[in-house]
Chains A and B, each alone.
Chain A
Amino acid sequence: MTDRPTRRHVLTGAAALAGIVPGLAMAQQAQNVAAAPVEGTEDRGQIISPYGAHQAGITTPRPAHGMVASFHVIAADPAALEDLFRRLTDRIVFLTHGGPVPELDPKLPPADSGILGPVLRPDASTITVGLGNSLFEGRDWLAGLKPATLSRMTKFRNDALVADICHGDLAIQFCANSQDTVVHALRDIVKSLPDRLVLRWAQVGNVPVIPPRPDGQVESARNLLGFRDGSANPDSGDVPLMDRIVWADAGEPTWASGGSYMAVRIIRNLVERWDRTPLSEQEAIFGRTKASGAPLDRRAGTETDVPDYTADPEGAVLAMDSHIRLANPRTPDSDRNLMLRRPFNYVNGVQKNGQLDQGLLFIAFQSDLERAFIAVQHRLDGEPLEEYIKPVGGGYFYALPGFSEGGDYLGRTLIEAI
């Protein structure tokens, strides 16, 4: 099988989704990676192929569970980095395909944690690897190979970054239908590469699974502020669009072709304060209705309706500083700032002050970090939503180009460029 460059084959084990969700069977239906996972369609046997020109886990549908884990890399020379990439690739291939775990002599520690039983099911899992700025900065032999706009995440106006949950030499995004699969994959990789990867931080997240709608329409998942998140995401099924928005190309070192910039942000939501805010104010802050997600100038519409800012130049209905208007002013110019968002919600327990530690594990992919995430975040500086959110962690990473079946490995083009 050869994957077409930007549209990945999603192999499903049992009944395809089409019979259960009529909307998905319609030709030309826009694909939104931020669509909520639909109840009853999760298939533990589903394999999302890790092979292709691009890594899986970017334009493939977002399942219910995810995690970002960040690591220090131990690699003093190119051979060590190649060893890391090859061994990591082996684990990714195994974990995403599933199968029986090896049986060892019982005198040995078991080869697998066993938390998924003796036979792994693929569970629609994807494992997406990105490289951080510090990997390149610390190594002379990688000089000149750093992706053009990869940088160390710096503080934005409203950030209160906690050093322990920021940055990293290498980050892995794990996604799957169930949290057990995500946790299992992390434990497998930590156990398999102790001499190459030292874990720095990890954040798990999930998105709500919703019942299918009778009309087959797909809805974006809600965040922990109760609003739909990702309604305006670009169509991940539109190959030329993804080529322009998501996949890095011109201006990058040759090895990086087919990769994508991954912006990760751990954004705490001050949910108690938010829940005490009048509904009308919440909606004005976002620019959307809470119930349907329709833009405020189309209250009776749906979340996919496009707001018309030209008809509201003073912001009478859609405030000029509302979140959606600042994030995407929908001018000819702002089209170049688009990105693909694929976030998860997180729930971490309780803070010292007795308030809930909850928020958004924001993940966005783009072809140019400065032109997309960083530019948009600067536009959002000072937005009224800031009173209710506090970014505390995350980092910028460069998702490696994909790899093909049979001897290829993640990061090969980088190693060959050294």
Chain B
Amino acid sequence: MRILTLAAICGMLATPAAFADTTLDLVGPISDYKLYVSDKTDDLVGATEEFVAAVKGGDVEKAKELFAPTRQHYEAIEPIAELFSDLDVSIDSRADDYEQAEADPAFPGFHRIEYGLWEQNSTEGLEPVADKLLADVKELQGRIEGLTFPPEVVVGGAAALMDEVAATKISGEEDRYSHTDLWDFRANFDGARKIVELVRPLVTDEAFLTKVDGNFATIDTTLDKYKEGDGYVTYDKLTEDDRVALSAAVNALAEDLSTLRAQLGLG
């Protein structure tokens, strides 16, 4: 029997290397990230106020216009927002999470309103949902203000965002009534890239950065084809080839960014 030595057959063999602890160096990037998240959260509250006003005023067209840009502020900060799982459920859960799906009286948040606006072309019955949404994003704002950002959540957030896109968004199931998924993608990618940019000076592996930058560039090029006005065309316009290209870039980023915590010495 022939047994090859592991070194000969396994390109990924790496001797366990101790990564330098960068906790102190991370203080700057983490506080910068907190500023970024705070700004986004303020934008989220402002945008949600307008969106909710349109819904409550019965202005379906205006509410439809505001839906995607409002959500973008939330999508960009998901790694932090998801720390408050009660609010995440209340703000951003989907019909699948409820036994009776769209008909379930417990179905809340952005997607419940999205369902009313696009599927029923009406704001009827959405008033309490809209009020609750605004209350929830304000509550989120308050909680984020008082939060000490855990470094491993911030650094790990880049991979978490890519995981999220790969697992539940690339298929177009997130914004299934409005098909505004490409707006969400953009915000998720921006949120992930922000984290990479902030910690970039602490990353020593140039090959890693080149690969990550390359995949972000692929995403930019691909998404740019679908720009329309300040946003994006509907998800159904995304070609199969471009969906596959995005999927590969997202999965490659999810794999690569999953090593970022270790590269910065975080467990």
A residues near B, CB below 8 A? 1, 11-13, 45, 47, 49, 72, 74, 87, 90, 93-94, 97, 99-100, 102-109, 111, 138, 191-192, 194-198
Contact = CB atoms under 8 A, between A and B. Distances in A.
A97 B9 contact: yes
Contacts of B1: 11-13, 45, 47
The list of the 7 closest CB pairs from A to B, nearest first, reads: A107-B262, A194-B251, A195-B252, A108-B262, A74-B248, A72-B244, A194-B252
B249 interface: yes
Nearest to B251: A194
Interface string B234-267: 0000000100110111011011001101100111
Contact of A90 (B10, B245, B247): B10
A49 B4 CA distance: 11
A108 B6 CA distance: 20
Contact of A198 (B13, B248, B261): B248
B172 to A, nearest CB: 14
A198 B261 CA distance: 25
B18 interface: yes
A74 B244 contact: yes
A272 B20 CA distance: 62
Nearest to A92: B9
Consensus secondary structure, chain A interface = loop
Contacts of B267: 106-107
Nearest to B259: A108
Interface residues of B, number: 33
Contacts of B245: 74
B83 to A, nearest CB: 21
Interface of B: 1-4, 6, 9-14, 16-19, 215, 241, 244-245, 247-249, 251-252, 254-255, 258-259, 261-262, 265-267
A13 B1 CA distance: 7
B78 to A, nearest CB: 20
A100 B7 CA distance: 10
Contacts of A105: 16-19, 262
A11 B241 CA distance: 42
Nearest to B265: A107
A111 B262 CA distance: 13
A103 B255 contact: no
Nearest to B264: A107
A109 B266 contact: no
Contact of A94 (B9, B244, B254): B9
Given A90-B10, A105-B18, 15 more contacts: A11-B1, A11-B2, A13-B1, A47-B2, A72-B248, A74-B248, A90-B9, A103-B16, A105-B19, A106-B267, A107-B262, A108-B259, A108-B262, A109-B259, A195-B215
Given A194-B255, A195-B249, A102 B12 contact: yes
Contact of B9 (A74, A93, A108, A198): A93
A191 B249 CA distance: 13
A388 to B, nearest CB: 34
A76 to B, nearest CB: 9
Contact of A102 (B10, B247, B262): B10
Contacts of A45: 1
Given A99-B6, A107-B266, A198 B251 contact: yes
A99 B248 contact: no
A198 B240 CA distance: 12
Contacts of B255: 191, 194
A103 B4 CA distance: 18
B245 to A, nearest CB: 7
B219 to A, nearest CB: 12
A194 to B, nearest CB: 4
Of A93, A94, A192, which is in contact with the most chain B CB atoms at under 10 Å from its CB?
A94
Contacts of A107: 19, 261-262, 265-267
Nearest to A98: B3
A195 B14 contact: no
A72 B249 CA distance: 13
Given A74-B244, A109-B258, A104 B16 contact: yes
A113 to B, nearest CB: 13
Contacts of B6: 99-100, 102
A15 to B, nearest CB: 13
Contacts of A11: 1-2
Contacts of B19: 105, 107
Contact of B3 (A99, A102, A138, A194): A99
A198 B218 CA distance: 15
Contacts of A198: 244, 247-248, 251
Contacts of B9: 90, 93-94, 97, 99
A106 B251 CA distance: 22
A275 B225 CA distance: 54
Nearest to B170: A198
Nearest to B252: A195
Contacts of A94: 9-10
19 contacts: A12-B1, A87-B11, A97-B4, A99-B3, A99-B4, A99-B6, A102-B14, A105-B16, A105-B17, A105-B18, A107-B261, A107-B265, A107-B266, A107-B267, A108-B259, A108-B262, A138-B241, A194-B252, A195-B215
